[in-house]
Amino acid sequence: MPRFEEPFHMSHLKTFQGCNRAFQYGQIYDLEREKSNWAALSGTAGHDTIEMAHRSNTWKIETLMDFFEVRAWEKYDKAIEQDREVTGHINIEKSRAMIQGYIDQPWNREAEVMFHEKNFYLTIKPFKTPYKFEGRIDQLLRIPAELLKKAFPSTFANFPRDTVLMHRDLKFGQRRQCSQFELSLDVQFSVYALALKFGEFRDADGGLVKLGLVPDIHCKYHVADHVPYSDDRGTYQKNENDEHVPCHIVETRCVMTPGVYGKTDKGVYLKGVGENYVKCPIRDADKCDAECKGLRATCTKQKSPDKLCKGLRSYCTRQSRGPAMYFTTRPESCLEQKAKDIGYICADIKKGLFPPRLGDLCFNYCGYKSYCESEAMENLDPGW
């Protein structure tokens, strides 16, 4: 059986951890994926658009969206040329909301970009066997600490310097694995941290240089958190006393259901003390139907009360989906252990053992599903 040939890439580790059989099909058998999808194509186009915004200092949404659409369709054409089926559809409005949300943040516009989409080369030797890596880092930034303290006080309130050195990985897909625990185990950030400290990067002249950097913080940036909710059906939140929790997003309560005017003039006449009809406060009686006797339960001149929001809800169109940036650290003191954790994964890959695991590949979006099905179903015909 053929074995994996180095160098490793980040996608290799992520694929192997998710499904070792998918890794085998793509990296050992060199099989092409049969499918792609518009979400993935839009994500790579989004990366290109963000890079262009920083390089050219362009923050106008229309200019960026024109660039995004050209890039997205170029990637679609390339997928078709490679005989890959492209599922789903391009969602321009969602992509616009993500890019608009990105450029709206002052901690993006005012960041100093040290580099963007930079290739690195890294060799780790946690045990006797060395492992070579190649990859690319999305962003290394210096951001004014005051901007981050205002937006993320729980993380940066006590940060001691004026600027934060941040490594950031952009994600345009669905948010997942963002808890502190999950981020602490994320091998992607461990590889990037090792590369920034010990790896080599291409300089402007094509040579290789070591940076020897340890970022203050690493960030997984889920740009889709900037996409607003589409409706206001979120469940009202209550405290331990079964009271509605006040909303902190807006100062005044939102109108949930605007009051409407009556459709007919057949409402019951309202009476006060002594069976006297209540005088209509809406319009003078002589300006309405001559037979109108006063205030009625409904009439075409009368509007029902607006229904106001009762307080904080699980989601609403004014509420963000999440903080967008999720943070973790890789101080120098932990890098030796992180290299060992990565080494265990590399060793498993080099062993060449890729047993199928039920559930890992059994989804329509998997680009290798037909290969896996044909292998699994082979020789299972009972001959009845």
The predicted-structure confidence for 208-236, as pLDDT tens digits, reads as follows 999 999 999 999 999 999 999 988 888 99
Residue 357 has pLDDT above 60, yes or no: yes
Question: In angstroms, what is the C-alpha Rg of the chain?
Answer: 29
Of the two residues 131 and 278, the one the predictor is more confident about is 131
Residue 252 within any structural domain of the chain: no
Q: Considering the domain boundaries, does residue 146 fall inside one? A: yes
Q: How far, in Å, CA of 51 to CA of 117, rounded?
A: 8
Predicted pLDDT at 59: 97
Mean pLDDT of 142-147: 97
Q: List the domain range (segments joined by +) for residue 337.
A: 10-228+320-376
Q: In the structure encoding, which two tokens stand for residue 250, read together?
A: 């807006």
User: What pLDDT does residue 91 have?
Assistant: 95
* pLDDT higher than threshold 60 for residue 8: yes
Residue 287 confidence (pLDDT): 64
pLDDT band at 360 (very low <50, low <70, confident <90, very high): very low
pLDDT above 70 coverage of the chain, percent: 93
Task: Tell whether 84 is covered by a domain.
Answer: yes
pLDDT in tens, 48-93: 999 999 999 999 999 999 999 999 999 999 999 988 889 999 999 9
pLDDT in tens, 312-348: 998 898 888 899 999 999 999 999 999 999 999 999 9
Does the pLDDT value for residue 188 go beyond 90?
A: yes
- The yes-or-no verdict on residue 370 having pLDDT over 80 is no
Instruction: Write out the two tokens for 137.
Output: 């880092």
pLDDT tens-place string over residues 234-285 = 899 999 999 999 998 888 999 988 988 888 887 888 888 777 888 888 876 5
Identify the residue whose tokens are 């490594």: 167
Query: Mean pLDDT for the chain?
Result: 89
Q: Residue 122 contacts by C-beta under 8 Å, 6 or more apart in sequence?
A: 132, 133, 134, 135, 191, 194, 195, 198, 199, 200
Amino acid 361: pLDDT: 47
Q: Is residue 238 part of a domain?
A: no
Q: List the CATH number of the domain containing 34.
A: 3.90.320
Amino acid letter, 331: P
Q: Give residue 371's pLDDT.
A: 74
CA–CA dist 309, 211 (Å, integer) = 53
Pull the structure tokens for residue 377.
């179903």
Query: Is there a domain that residue 309 lies in?
Result: no
Q: What pTM value is reported for the model?
A: 0.79
Residue 313 tokens, joined: 């809800």
What backbone phi and psi angles, to 5 degrees, belong to 39? -65, -45
Please report the pLDDT score of residue 359 as a whole number: 53
Tell me whether residue 222 is in a domain.
Answer: yes
Q: Is residue 150 part of a domain?
A: yes
pLDDT band at 286 (very low <50, low <70, confident <90, very high): low
Question: 56 vs 5, which has greater pLDDT?
Answer: 56
Task: Give domain status of residue 194, yes or no.
Answer: yes
Q: How many domains does the chain have?
A: 1
Task: In whole angstroms, give the CA distance from residue 366 to residue 377.
Answer: 17
Three state DSSP letters for the chain: CCCCCCCECHHHHHHHHHCHHHHHHHHHCCCCCCEEEHHHHHHHHHHHHHHHHHHHCCCCHHHHHHHHHHHHHHHHHHHHHCCCEEECCCCHHHHHHHHHHHHHCHHHHCCEEEEEEEEEEEEECCCCCCEEEEEEEEEEEEEEHHHHHHHCHHHHCCCCCCEEEEEEEEECCCCCCCCHHHHHHCHHHHHHHHHHHHCEEECCCCCEEECCCCCCEEEEEEHHHHCCCCCCCCCECECCCCCECCCCCCCCCCEEECCCECCCCCCCECECHHHCECCCCCCCHHHCCCCCCCCECCCCCCECCCEECCCCECCCCCCCCCCCEEEECCCHHHHHHHHHHHHHHHHHHHHCCCCCCCCCCCCCCCCCHHHHHHHHHCCCCCCC
CA angle 89, 369, 72 (to 5 degrees): 25
Asked which of 133-147, 151-165, 183-197, 245-259 is least confident by mean pLDDT, the reply is 245-259
